Structure 1
Amino acid sequence: SSGTSIEQRPDYINERQEPGHWEMDTVVGKKRTKARLLVLSERVTRREIIIRIKDGRAETVVAALDRLERIYGAAFYEIFKTITVDNGSEFADADGIERSARRKDAKRTTVYYCHAYSSCERGTNENINRMIRRQFPKGTDFDKVTAAEVKRVETWLNDYPREILGFMSSAEAFKIAFDRAA
């Protein structure tokens, strides 16, 4: 399926009033290397999830979301209500992104697609990707980056005090929003 256009995304999501709506993108590494980072950014709390994936194939992205769904369990459906992505080929499998790996014939989330060549609709994510580039400059070979290094950057981002959150960290804001340790 070609997925649902961002034009059909409800206004309350655009207004960042309710947590549980994410932007997702990839940060690619050195030319001719396949591994990259899958980056999910929660729109209200600015919470980041960064996963190193082996390549940019759509099924690799779906498999990463399957793992995330298993980690979060039943809480996944409340925490990941929607995910907005660009039209990159890595996000081409809308059905796979939306389909639950835990519950037969059920959806785990709703995916919305930005207009072609328009990253501005995912402003949070684009800004975070710039912060990630401070840690992993262009030309980084993600085949050689360890899971621990990726986790360190994710933790740094989530513990960073944000002016937009009244100088709370994303980790604190997320814990309050979902009333649980994340």
Structure 2
Amino acid sequence: LLKLTSQTQQAVLRALNGLERQMGLSGFRSRFKSITVDNGAEFWDWQALEQSVQGKRQRTRIYYAHPYSSWERGSNENLNGFIRYSIPKGTRLSQYTRKDIHELQEWINMYPRRILGGLPAADFSQTAQAV
């Protein structure tokens, strides 16, 4: 989870660029093969979001969900539910620190998932990487 400075294209692009720099291009590609977004203005320039900080190389594929079709982003909507459990909609995010967001991320990653056979996402990810 990342706390963006604003809901703008520039803020989203800065976040993706930062993640790519942190993980490297191959690490980014392995974790984010594709990203499905809604039709918000912060995602309009899909080409910039797909492009690597390492020049003209592609780092991911951006797909748009159809309007009012939340089922096309099932995992995203499930994650939103986890977030809303701790941070109700309409809450000012400015009151939450990076530490708060990190603790929420840890809780989400350690929550057992039925789709993963009862394993937390963090454990499933480690098991999958070992294979």
TM-score, normalised relative to structure 2 = 0.92
Relative to structure 2, which stretch is displaced further, 110-119 or 57-66? 110-119
Pairwise CA distance, 1:132 = 0.8
Is 1:94 aligned to residue 46 of structure 2? yes
Aligned equivalents of 2:15, 2:129: Cα separation in 1: 22
Q: Counterparts of 1:85 and 1:95 in 2: how far apart (Å)?
A: 13
CA apart distance, 1:165: 1.1
Structure with greater contact order relative to length (CA < 8 Å, sep ≥ 6): 1
Q: Name the CA distance, whole Å, in 2 between partners of 1:168 and 1:126.
A: 19
Q: Deviations over 1:120-154 (max 9, x none)?
A: 10011112211211101122111221000001011
d(CA) in 2 for partners of 1:128 and 1:76?
20
Q: Which amino acid aligns with 1:68?
A: L
CA contact (8 A) 1:79 1:178 kept: no
Q: Which runs of 4+ in 1 moved over 2 A?
A: 176-180
Partner secondary structure for residue 161 of structure 1: coil
TM-score of the superposed pair, with normalisation by structure 1: 0.68
Work out the number of aligned pairs and report it: 130
Q: Which residue of 2 aligns with 1:147?
A: 98
Q: Verify: 1:166 aligned to 2:87, yes or no.
A: no
Percentage of identical aligned residues:
41
Greater percentage in strand: 1
Aligned alpha-carbon RMSD (Å): 1.4
